[in-house]
Chains A and B, each alone.
Chain A
Amino acid sequence: NAGVTQTPKFQVLKTGQSMTLQCAQDMNHEYMSWYRQDPGMGLRLIHYSVGAGITDQGEVPNGYNVSRSTTEDFPLRLLSAAPSQTSVYFCASSFDRNSPLHFGNGTRLTVT
């Protein structure tokens, strides 16, 4: 049972490039979400999903896309990277609304 696995751990992009951050969980959790963590701002919700085929926007969705084709995977796509997207990105999952969120170990993204 690996929990929530995020890849890659580190990534450097140039402005305008696109990429996908991967997130997978093996706990059969219905709820998955993406947060970004910036100094002094805590974690802010980007997108979330309550089940396969269902996604919705969080607090800071602009510049990011998500899809949920399977229960296990919830990739986050940066369409055209900007320096403002330099951050640490965390994926999290939970079984249901009464269960705690399990976080991955994050992807540190730098956009130059």
Chain B
Amino acid sequence: QQQVKQSPQSLIVQKGGIPIINCAYENTAFDYFPWYQQFPGKGPALLIAIRPDVSEKKEGRFTISFNKSAKQFSLHIMDSQPGDSATYFCAAAPPSARQLTFGSGTQLTVLP
């Protein structure tokens, strides 16, 4: 049973576009929602994270929007650049531990 569902599986945008990646979770006990960025041949790296007490968090060109009632959260990348081309994973964790449950990933391609 997939507890964190991520979509789309792949996404292609032009430079300057605003790709949006969506995730939905089932476990209402989750209280930590990070996004990870992964380049080929590398491990995932934390991009940005949010807790359910806020509805939006912005760090540079990356924004997380969080909808607690719908159990959904999304990543927006403003003014996307070819260097943003990577695989993005959403994840969630309960308050009792650091075990992350990951979404299936989105392969983003930003065309020059």
Contact = CB atoms under 8 A, between A and B. Distances in A.
A33 interface: yes
Q: How large is the interface on A (under 10, 10 to 19, 20 to 34, 35 or more residues)?
A: 20 to 34
A48 to B, nearest CB: 6
A43 B98 contact: no
B43 A105 contact: yes
Given A42-B6, A42-B105, A43-B89, A101 B100 contact: yes
B99 A42 contact: no
A59 B9 CA distance: 22
B98 A103 contact: no
Contacts of B101: 45, 59
Interface string B70-112: 0000000000000000000100010001111111110000000
Contact of A45 (B6, B42, B43, B99): B99
Contact of A33 (B45, B46, B99, B105): B99
Interface of A: 4, 31, 33, 35, 40-45, 48, 50, 58-59, 90, 92, 94, 96-97, 100-101, 103-106
7 contacts: A4-B43, A31-B98, A33-B99, A43-B100, A43-B102, A94-B98, A104-B43
